[in-house]
């Protein structure tokens, strides 16, 4: 029986590899933008790994924390909490100096019509953060959609491929990377750019979006015929372990699952578990946002949970009536409009 408590426990259980790497990470860890979808479980996962490693190390979560329950959950887990608006320079400069930074702050949805806010968060703020923490090792969350849409036969974009963002959100995300790249060249800051392509939490994500469309009887577009995704527990582990791989010049790595998954096949499998036939629309396309995460597999190992297992878990989680989040991914978007 799935519950939110069971899910959170699974997402925050550290692997042996994370525990061993935590012993090598020198100093405390501060997570900027920790109140979002991935941040709370990442912070608790880091704290649990520290405890299991027998270390005394601080994990500090920084966010506006509009949801008081998130703040309380973090504090119960031993994570220190700082409420701050990072766009306020006084608040940013008041943050303590910490050896390790995981930068998760960003803005995506609601960009259309408020583009200036997205650019402020995704492009302006990173320059100030990069300077403030120029002596730290920094893992910077980015996105796989800064690459162009590629043919399915390509196997996905790899780190050496040229970027080609479509739309203001992906363009501002690339600007975030460039701000930290400047820091690596100007100040020698050690940076690990983490290009994520869809993490799955069961409360939200690409599989949840597909399942919801099936249950609602909403057609699923096949114009984008394939996608990548990764178990959020593994995605968070890579972000933490990435602190050991921050370099100057900066290091770039794609983070997603090893499978290129057919949206149609995933939906049919979900529909079988859910007991309802999916409806499809539009002809199957021949291109998609796809990322090749071979380098991440070589560096960190394969994710702990396979795509097939995640599909089954997603259906079970919904059928068990566990809590979900109203945060669609818009995985089918091809024109960069968010």
pLDDT in tens, 13-66: 999 999 999 999 999 999 999 999 999 999 999 999 999 999 999 999 999 998
pLDDT value of residue 231:
98
- Read off the tokens for 335: 């024109």
Mean pLDDT of 121-149: 96
Q: Confidence class of residue 337 from pLDDT cuts 50, 70 and 90? A: low
> CB-based contacts of 103: which residues, under 8 Å, 6+ apart?
32, 33, 126, 129, 138, 139, 140, 141, 180
pLDDT in tens, 162-193: 999 999 999 999 999 999 999 999 999 999 99
Q: Confidence class of residue 125 from pLDDT cuts 50, 70 and 90? A: very high
> CB-based contacts of 224: which residues, under 8 Å, 6+ apart?
263, 285, 287, 288, 289, 331, 332, 334
The helix/strand count (H/E) of the chain reads as 13, 15
Which residues in 93-119 are b (16+ Cβ under 10 Å) and which e? Answer: eebeebbbbbbbbbbbeebeeeeeebb
pLDDT value of residue 334:
66
Domains parsed from the chain with CATH numbers: 4-199+232-258+290-304 (3.40.50.720)
Query: Mean pLDDT score of the chain, rounded to an integer?
Result: 94
CB 41 within 8 Å of CB 232: yes
pLDDT in tens, 309-336: 999 999 999 999 999 987 777 677 666 6
pLDDT in tens, 136-146: 999 999 999 99
DSSP bridge pairs for 101? 30, 138
Rounded to two decimals, the pTM is: 0.95
pLDDT in tens, 198-238: 899 999 999 999 999 999 999 999 999 999 999 999 999 99
Q: Confidence class of residue 111 from pLDDT cuts 50, 70 and 90? A: low
pLDDT value of residue 106:
86
| CA–CA separation, 211 and 206 (whole Å) | 9
- Using DSSP bridges, classify how beta strands 137-143 and 59-63 pair: parallel, antiparallel or unpaired: unpaired
Sign of the Cα torsion 185, 188, 189, 193 reads positive
């Amino acid at each position: 029986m799935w519950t939110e408590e069971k899910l959170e426990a699974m997402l925050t259980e550290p692997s042996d590899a994370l525990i061993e790497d935590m012993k090598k990470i020198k100093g405390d860890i501060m997570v900027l933008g920790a109140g979002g979808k991935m941040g709370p479980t990442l912070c608790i996962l880091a704290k649990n790994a520290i405890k299991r490693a027998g270390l005394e190390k601080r994990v500090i979560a920084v966010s506006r924390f509009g949801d008081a329950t998130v703040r309380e959950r973090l504090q119960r887990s031993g994570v220190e909490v700082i409420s701050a608006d990072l766009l306020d320079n006084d608040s940013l400069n008041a943050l303590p100096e910490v050896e390790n930074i995981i930068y998760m702050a960003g803005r995506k949805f609601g960009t259309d019509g408020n583009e200036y806010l997205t650019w402020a968060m995704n492009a302006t703020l990173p320059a100030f953060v990069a300077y403030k923490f120029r002596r730290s090792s920094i893992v910077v969350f980015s996105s796989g959609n800064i690459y162009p849409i590629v043919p399915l036969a390509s196997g996905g974009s790899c780190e050496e491929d040229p970027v080609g963002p479509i739309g203001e959100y992906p363009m501002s995300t690339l600007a975030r990377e460039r701000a930290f790249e400047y820091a690596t060249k100007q100040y020698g800051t050690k940076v690990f750019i983490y290009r994520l392509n869809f993490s799955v939490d069961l409360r939200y994500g690409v599989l949840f979006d597909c399942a919801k469309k099936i249950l609602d009887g909403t057609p699923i577009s096949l114009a984008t015929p394939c996608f990548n995704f990764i178990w959020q527990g593994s995605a968070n582990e890579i972000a933490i372990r990435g602190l050991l791989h921050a370099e100057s010049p900066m290091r770039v790595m794609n983070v997603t699952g090893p499978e290129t998954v057919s949206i149609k096949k995933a939906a049919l499998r979900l529909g079988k578990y859910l007991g309802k036939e999916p409806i499809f629309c539009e002809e199957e396309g021949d291109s998609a946002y796809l990322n090749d995460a071979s380098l991440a597999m070589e560096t960190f190992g394969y994710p702990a949970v396979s795509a097939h297992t995640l599909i089954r878990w997603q259906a079970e989680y919904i059928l068990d009536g566990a809590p979900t989040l109203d945060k669609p991914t818009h995985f089918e978007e091809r024109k960069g409009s968010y």
